[in-house]
Amino acid sequence: MGSQLFFPRGFFLNGIDSGIKDRKKRDIALIYSQVPCVAAGLFTKNRVKAAPVVISQKHLRNGRAQAILVNSGSANACTGNRGIEDAKTMAYDLACQLGIRKEDVLLASTGVIGRFLPMSRVKQGIKKITKTVGNPSKPEFFTEAIMTTDTTPKIISSQFLTQNRKRAVICGLAKGAGMIHPDLATLLCFIITDIAIHKRLLQKALMEAAETSFNSLTIDGDTSTNDSVLILANGRVGNRPINSENRDFLKFQNSLNEVTRGLAELIARDGEGATKLVRIIVNNAKNSLSAKKIARHIASSPLVKTALYGSDPNWGRLMAAIGSSGIRIDPQRIDIYFGKLQVARNGQPTSYSEMKAKRILKKKEIEIVIDLKQGTSGAKVYTCDLTPDYVKINSCYST
C-alpha cells in the first residue's frame, strides 16, 4: 500500500465551497464516474436515520450508481419530510447537471443534527461543482469538503495485478473523528475502484472489509445517524469481470481490507482530542465473537482511555474491563502486555519496570495485548486515548 496514492481510471473528484458552513470552507464534494458503476453500501444501524441515508439505501437497491454527492455543515438528520425532499432535490439537480439518472446518485451528509440545509446555496453549489467536471481531479479538495471535526484528510489507496495482467486500483476517502463506535458510527467512507466485479461479490467484499476495520473501531462509544460506506466499481481496468470467489476476488478482497484498515487507523489516530493511536489485541479466545467483544469493551472504557492519556500503566483497569465484558473468562489465566512488555501473568503482576511501561505508553502508537489462554481465536480493535480536548470539542460542537 505505502504512502504513494493511486487513483482508479474513469473517476472525477472535487470539493468546493458553497456557503453551507458559516466560514468560507469547502462543503460540497463530488465523485463522478464516466460510466455507470456496480455499487454497494453499508449504513448506520442507528434507528434514527438521516435523509441521505434513506435515499441512498433506496437508490442502491439495483446495485448501480454513477455519482456520489456529499455535503458537510449539516447532517440533514431529524429534518422530517422536508429533509427527505431536500435530499431528493439534491439527487435530481445533480443528475440533471451531469445528464445521468437521479437513481444513480448516492448522497451523504455530515454536520450538526436537526438543522435544515440552506437549499438555495446547495443548489448553487451543485451547479458550481458540476462545471468543474472534466478538469483534473482534486481528491485533496474532496476530503477537505467532507471534514467536520477532523484535523487531517484521510485517503488511502492500493493496487494489484489481475490474472490477465491488468493493474487495478482501489482508493478510499473518509471522514471521522468523533461519535465513532462499531456499526460504522459517524464516519463517511467512499471507495472507488476500476475493477469489474459482480454486485453480489462487491457487497460481500465490502462487508468483510468493514468487519475488520470500521466495525473494529471505537472512539467514544456513540453511533450516529448518517454513517455510510459506499463503494463504486466502474470496470475501466478491462479485467475479466469477477463473477466468483476466484484469485482475482481474493486479491481484490485483500487490497480492499488494506484500504479500510488503513482508514480505520487514520480515524482512530485523529480521534477528537486524541494524542495516541491504540490497538487492543485479544489473543487465544474461545471464538472470534468473544475476542472482539472483549477488545471492544476495553477500547471503549473511559477509565482505560484516560489512563492511556496519562501514560499510567494501570493494567488493573484492563482486567476490570475484561471481567465486565460479559464474556466468561478465567482471570487466573490472563496475561497482559504493553507492547512486548509483560505486566501481568496469570492475572497477577510481574516484576516489570513501571518506568519502562510508562515510556511505552507515552508513544504515539501503542499496542495492548491480552492473552486469554482459552482457545485459538483473536481480534484487533482500534481506538485512542480520552483527553480534556475531547470534552472541549464536544461541549461546543453546534456553535
pLDDT higher than threshold 50 for residue 180 = no
78-133 residue pLDDT tens: 999 999 999 999 999 999 999 999 999 999 999 888 999 999 999 999 999 999 99
Any bridge partners for residue 14, and if so which? Answer: 30
Closest CA relative to residue 231, chosen from 256, 267, 263, 258: 256
Measured distance between the N- and C-terminal CA atoms of the chain, rounded to whole angstroms = 39
381 lies in some domain: yes
Closest CA relative to residue 171, chosen from 120, 233, 125: 233
Furthest CA-CA distance within the chain = 70
355 lies in some domain: yes
What mean pLDDT value characterizes the chain? 91
6 lies in some domain: no
4 lies in some domain: no
Residues 236 and 311 in one domain: no
C-alpha cell belonging to residue 349 = 503482576
pLDDT of residue 173: 97
Is 186 labeled as catalytic in the residue annotation?
yes
CATH of the domain at 114: 3.60.70.12
Residues 89 and 169 in one domain: yes
Question: Of 210, 239, 269, which closes a domain?
Answer: 269
Closest CA relative to residue 202, chosen from 176, 165, 174, 168: 168
40-54: average pLDDT: 92
324 lies in some domain: yes
Contact 282, 163 (CB under 8 A): no
Residues 253 and 282 in one domain: no
pLDDT of residue 2: 44
Catalytic choice (44, 162, 186, 193): 186
Residues 167 and 289 in one domain: no
Contact 267, 177 (CB under 8 A): yes
**Rounded-to-integer distance, Cα 194 and Cα 352, Å:** 51
Residues 249 and 282 in one domain: no
Count of domains for the chain? 2
Residues 264 and 281 in one domain: no
Residues 219 and 326 in one domain: no
283 lies in some domain: yes
243-277 residue pLDDT tens: 999 999 999 999 999 999 999 888 877 766 678 88
CATH of the domain at 319: 3.10.20.340
The residue that leads in pLDDT, 220 or 387, is 387
pLDDT of residue 269: 74
Residues 19 and 146 in one domain: yes
Parent domain of 338? 277-395
pLDDT higher than threshold 80 for residue 44 = yes
